[in-house]
Chains A and B, each alone.
Chain A
Amino acid sequence: MSKEWFPLLPEQASTFAWQVDALYLLLVGLSVFFTIAIIAVIIYFSIKYRRRSESERPAAIHGNLPLELAWSIIPMFMCIGVFALGADLFFNMYRTPTDGIDIYVVGKQWMWKVQHPEGKREINTLHVPVNQTIRLTLTSEDVIHSFYIPAFRTKKDAVPGRYNTMWFEATQVGEYHLFCAEYCGTQHSGMIGRVYVMELDDYQRWLVSTSAGGEATGQSMAQLGEVQFQQLGCQTCHKAEPGGRGPDLNGVFGKPVELASGETVRVDETYLRESILTPAAKLVKGYPPIMPAFQGQVSEETLAQLVEYVKSLGAAKK
């Protein structure tokens, strides 16, 4: 953590950090310039044109069109420039790379529950390897939370009922703050934790370790998902061959699928989640709406395991 008495910038520990800081400092520069310039002019005028006698009646100046157009149009172009820089950076933050390590995060009053694909689970900590693309899939079991790592200059809301994704690439091994940024009730300020950035080797050792923090399950998320898949009876209809009462799930992940409504959607995490909870919402063409809704019956953590299991079915076939 920062040792300075009056720190001005947080640590830079992701690829976004210096980009956000550069943009921030540009805005600080512009703001300081305009603030000082305008305040200096006001002070100068207040002194130079101070009222020297009660009878003063200065001549009116009703305006100056070229001047006013200039100070409308020049700031407008400056604004468009800053907008473009900000939008470009946002574009990079928003477009999640497809490769990378997938980690599932569930917010819950008042803790962060994290599942790694290899099966390791942790609460209020997040272990990630340095210099790797990390993709977080976020959701919430109750109210809206927000996953915020100041040292990485990024955050995303964990919204109940939907998956949001965020990504980052940590650049520096160390320990960083993790905050909930969206007010979520009584213990909101207690919903904080630590992000540990580790060397890749250390991370891999951590994933299988039973003593280094977190809960090792011994099974990957996909394996845990497969168990759930059997227990919930999914396999009675979603058989591993054509002709089942439900669609064959082998290799569907990432593929487009035609719906009964005639639309086409790409099978992603959000679609799988929705189709488990409310199957009738986006029914696959050619199948009757017979699947029961699992809304309220499976936890977000189990849902994530089921999603990972279906994803793994795709990978196995390819």
Chain B
Amino acid sequence: MSTATAAPPATNGHGETENFLTAGYGFKTWLLTLDHKRIGLLYLGCITVVFLMGGFFAGMIRAELMTPQGDLVGAETYNKMFTLHGVLMIFFFLIPSVPAVLGNFVLPIMIGAKDVAFPKLNLLSWYMYASGALLALLAMVLGGVDTGWTFYTPYSSTYANGYVALVVVGVFVNGFSSILTGLNFMVTVHKMRAPGMTWFRLPLFIWAQYATSMIMLLGTPVVAITLLLVVLERVLHIGIFDPRYGGDPILFQHMFWFYSHPAVYIMILPGFGVVSEIIACFSRKAIFGYSFVAFSSLAIAVLGFLVWGHHMFTTGQSMYASMVFSFITFFIAVPTAVKIFNWTATLYKGSISLKSPMLYALGFIGLFLIGGLTGLFLSTLGTDIHLHDTYFVVAHFHYVMVGGMVMAFLGGVHFWWPKMTGRMYPETLAKISAALVFVGFNLTFFPQFIMGYLGMPRRYHTYPPEFQVYHVMSTAGATVLGLGYVLLIAYLLWSVYKGPKAPANPWAAKGLEWNIPSPPVVTNFDTTPVVTWEPYPYEQPEEHPSDSQHAYPKKQEEHLV
């Protein structure tokens, strides 16, 4: 098998056409690329590095919490570690994970476009992301920051030591990456759909990306303003948040959560989209209740903006405000439940294949279900007062963010990996790692629900000894989880160089991205496709007439000579 590095551009000796990976070599062709697929891979590289760093801090936190005393690291170091874990994982991993990696790669192809609407803006987004991440990294190297990823005032604005301003500016700059990506995707979906690709023929992944983009565009500016005010108060002592200067610390929480609650949906809605694609493909069924699933994404995006006060039930916020926020929060449970029921119903009378992407998607449903249901405990006013700021909250949002979004992201990575790299990964190892991740995850975070109800507060460096049994279980689970992730990264990297060549459509999936070669050519489509079919036509035995030349993936190479 010839390795790609030695091959010149254009066609090589094996009759392969030039694809987007072989279209140019060297750093410059990557760093100045305007190709949405390459930009997606640039993001993938960056977020993988961030994920490993964030994961390292998580490992250190879990190791420290093995014993009730603070014996591995000091209190200050511990506080810096959970802060950096949160900042890296939320702002620099989860938020860009599905939208910026998978969204960039497949969104234009799925709608039959040659690229996003504004390719240069797209590259600028990546540079914004990378600069933000570098600023955060610089702060980390200089000495870190210990405010928690929530940057609550007046601690962050007046009392905290460390490089708060630097990290906050990093998050601020990164915010522009989100805003520009959201803008780009919205315009792309509106203006660049192929002929015949009507709104209700869009794959559900696109609906989810669209809803996410809406939140990115409307919400991110608010957190940008808020964080800028924290920097101004820290540097110039203007009185916005610190009561000593006449400010109100609770105002910060309102402004912060006005973005950061919807940001939770930035982190989960794209995952819903990925899961819809995978479940349809591996049960060979159209998604049950397409329009319910599509509109529930929009409903979640809109309602998500009206519930921020549910983070503030114990702050002394007015009782009636708390009741309204609680009430609206319960209404988010409805579209969320609808999605879970509809995915389950999609399996009914399907042809179900438990390939690794499907294992991740089904794992997602199980874990997200628990994450969602435990959200009800926290939206219920009477129980939230007790549970607020305990490990119950920690467990809840890890079930949603890691059990939900990371599982969906990994499912998506496995699903589109052959398309992105042109290589297949070893399926058995993939199944083993999916199982390790699922088991390790539950062992890590399930004990935290119990520990939280018992009253274990979050962000504690030391703790009373009666909680130790649950902390030990959690740390044991984290070890298994870590092994799963390491295995996964190892075989995916291996497959890039040594994996067997992937056919155009290894899963017999429907959707425009499967009608073009793996990996795609730079312009995605030789001729703009014309869409004449409804989404997810899995009941049809053959591919569509319009793409008959790719109907037999195994023979694709001969076809394309």
Q: Which residues of A contact B (CB under 8 A)?
A: 1-2, 5-10, 19-20, 23-24, 27, 30-31, 34-35, 38-39, 41-42, 45-46, 49-52, 54-64, 67-68, 71-72, 75-76, 79-80, 82-83, 85-91, 93-95, 109, 142-144, 146, 148, 150-151, 153-157, 159-162, 164, 177, 179-190, 192, 295-296
Contact of B459 among A80, A183, A190 (CB under 8 A): A183
* 6 additional A-B residue pairs with CB within 8 Å, beyond A56-B351, A68-B338: A57-B284, A58-B284, A64-B288, A143-B154, A143-B249, A160-B242
Contact B382 A181 (CB under 8 A): no
Nearest-neighbour CB distance to chain A for B146, whole angstroms, equals 7
Interface: B389 (CB within 8 A): yes
Contact A153 B362 (CB under 8 A): no
Contact of A10 among B249, B289, B373, B454 (CB under 8 A): B454
Q: Which residues of B contact A (CB under 8 A)?
A: 70, 75-76, 79, 146, 148, 152, 154-155, 158-160, 242-244, 248-250, 283-286, 288-292, 313-316, 319, 322-323, 326-327, 330-331, 333-334, 337-338, 340-342, 344-345, 347-354, 362, 365-366, 369-370, 373-374, 376-377, 379-386, 388-390, 450, 453-455, 457-464, 466, 469, 508, 536-541
Contact A183 B155 (CB under 8 A): yes
Contact of A45 among B154, B344, B466 (CB under 8 A): B344
Contact B362 A46 (CB under 8 A): yes
- What are the residues of chain B within 8 A of A188 when measuring CB–CB? 75, 79, 459-461
Q: CB-nearest residue of chain B relative to A91?
A: B319
Contact B466 A80 (CB under 8 A): no
Contact B539 A58 (CB under 8 A): yes
- What are the residues of chain A within 8 A of B539 when measuring CB–CB? 57-60
Contact B334 A72 (CB under 8 A): yes
Q: CB-nearest residue of chain A relative to B323?
A: A87
- What are the residues of chain A within 8 A of B158 when measuring CB–CB? 143
Contact of B352 among A49, A57, A154 (CB under 8 A): A49
Q: List 17 A-B contacts (CB under 8 A).
A: A7-B466, A27-B377, A27-B383, A38-B344, A57-B541, A58-B283, A64-B289, A64-B345, A86-B383, A90-B319, A90-B323, A94-B322, A143-B249, A150-B454, A160-B154, A162-B243, A186-B146
Bound Cα distance A197, B366 (Å):
43
Contact A148 B286 (CB under 8 A): no
Contact of A79 among B342, B365, B376, B454 (CB under 8 A): B376
Nearest-neighbour CB distance to chain A for B372, whole angstroms, equals 9
Contact A45 B350 (CB under 8 A): yes
- What are the residues of chain A within 8 A of B242 when measuring CB–CB? 160
Nearest-neighbour CB distance to chain A for B468, whole angstroms, equals 11
- What are the residues of chain B within 8 A of A94 when measuring CB–CB? 319, 322
Nearest-neighbour CB distance to chain B for A23, whole angstroms, equals 5
Q: CB-nearest residue of chain A relative to B539?
A: A60
Contact B460 A189 (CB under 8 A): yes
Contact A30 to B373, CB < 8 A, known contacts A42-B344, A155-B388? yes
Contact A68 B342 (CB under 8 A): yes
- What are the residues of chain B within 8 A of A34 when measuring CB–CB? 369, 373
Bound Cα distance A181, B155 (Å):
14
Bound Cα distance A10, B457 (Å):
13
Contact B350 A49 (CB under 8 A): yes
- What are the residues of chain A within 8 A of B454 when measuring CB–CB? 2, 7-10, 150
Contact A9 B155 (CB under 8 A): no
Bound Cα distance A148, B387 (Å):
10
- What are the residues of chain A within 8 A of B354 when measuring CB–CB? 46, 50
- What are the residues of chain A within 8 A of B285 when measuring CB–CB? 58, 60-61
Bound Cα distance A181, B342 (Å):
39
Nearest-neighbour CB distance to chain A for B288, whole angstroms, equals 6
Nearest-neighbour CB distance to chain B for A268, whole angstroms, equals 14
Q: CB-nearest residue of chain A relative to B450?
A: A8
Contact A45 to B462, CB < 8 A, known contacts A31-B376, A58-B285? no
Nearest-neighbour CB distance to chain B for A193, whole angstroms, equals 12
Bound Cα distance A22, B369 (Å):
22
- What are the residues of chain B within 8 A of A91 when measuring CB–CB? 319
Contact of A153 among B322, B334, B338, B385 (CB under 8 A): B385
Contact B334 A79 (CB under 8 A): yes
Bound Cα distance A68, B341 (Å):
8
Contact A45 to B455, CB < 8 A, known contacts A38-B340, A57-B540, A79-B331? no
Nearest first, the 3 A-B pairs at minimum CB distance are A150-B455, A161-B243, A89-B382
Bound Cα distance A90, B321 (Å):
12
Nearest-neighbour CB distance to chain A for B39, whole angstroms, equals 35
Q: CB-nearest residue of chain B relative to A83?
A: B330
Nearest-neighbour CB distance to chain A for B396, whole angstroms, equals 11
Bound Cα distance A62, B344 (Å):
13
Bound Cα distance A214, B389 (Å):
29
- What are the residues of chain B within 8 A of A50 when measuring CB–CB? 352-354
Bound Cα distance A20, B388 (Å):
13
- What are the residues of chain A within 8 A of B76 when measuring CB–CB? 186
Contact B365 A90 (CB under 8 A): no
Nearest-neighbour CB distance to chain B for A245, whole angstroms, equals 25
Nearest-neighbour CB distance to chain B for A119, whole angstroms, equals 27
Nearest-neighbour CB distance to chain A for B326, whole angstroms, equals 6
Contact B330 A80 (CB under 8 A): yes
- What are the residues of chain B within 8 A of A95 when measuring CB–CB? 319
Contact B386 A82 (CB under 8 A): no
